[in-house]
Amino acid sequence: MVSSGGAKKLSGMQKQVLSLYRGFLRAARSKAPEERHRIESIVSAEFRRNSEAVDRKNFVYIEYLLRRGKKQLDQINSPDIVGLSSLKVASASGTKP
């Protein structure tokens, strides 16, 4: 497979993150339409927030987020789960992870 122009190859970790994101979007398709939109919005916002807040070189924390995300994806894929909720927790110290 030939890459286009100046496209960079993705690292293994970047591929894992994209795969997890696609997994969440696929899982959302199996839910009711209004819940699908809600799941897509929450997932998109969470991935965007982490892409801005987490240092790309903080591999230990990124691996932790991947493990946590995979567990959440497994839960969402369960037919017993009909939706997703989010909880915003403010940091007392105001520092980034």
Q: Which residue segment(s) compose the domain that 20 sits in?
A: 12-77
Q: What is the structure's pLDDT at 8?
A: 84
Cα separation, 64 vs 58, whole angstroms: 10
Q: How many CB atoms lie under 10 A from the CB of residue 62?
A: 18
Q: Is residue 92 part of a domain?
A: no
pLDDT (tens digit per residue) in 15-43:
999 999 999 999 999 988 999 999 999 99
Q: Is residue 17 part of a domain?
A: yes
Tokens 């991947």: give the residue: 66
Q: Is residue 5 part of a domain?
A: no
Q: What predicted TM-score, i.e. pTM, was given to this entire model?
A: 0.76
Q: Is residue 7 part of a domain?
A: no
Mean pLDDT of the chain, nearest integer: 85
Q: How many domains does the chain divide into?
A: 1
Type of residue at 2: V
Q: Is residue 67 part of a domain?
A: yes
Cα separation, 41 vs 26, whole angstroms: 13
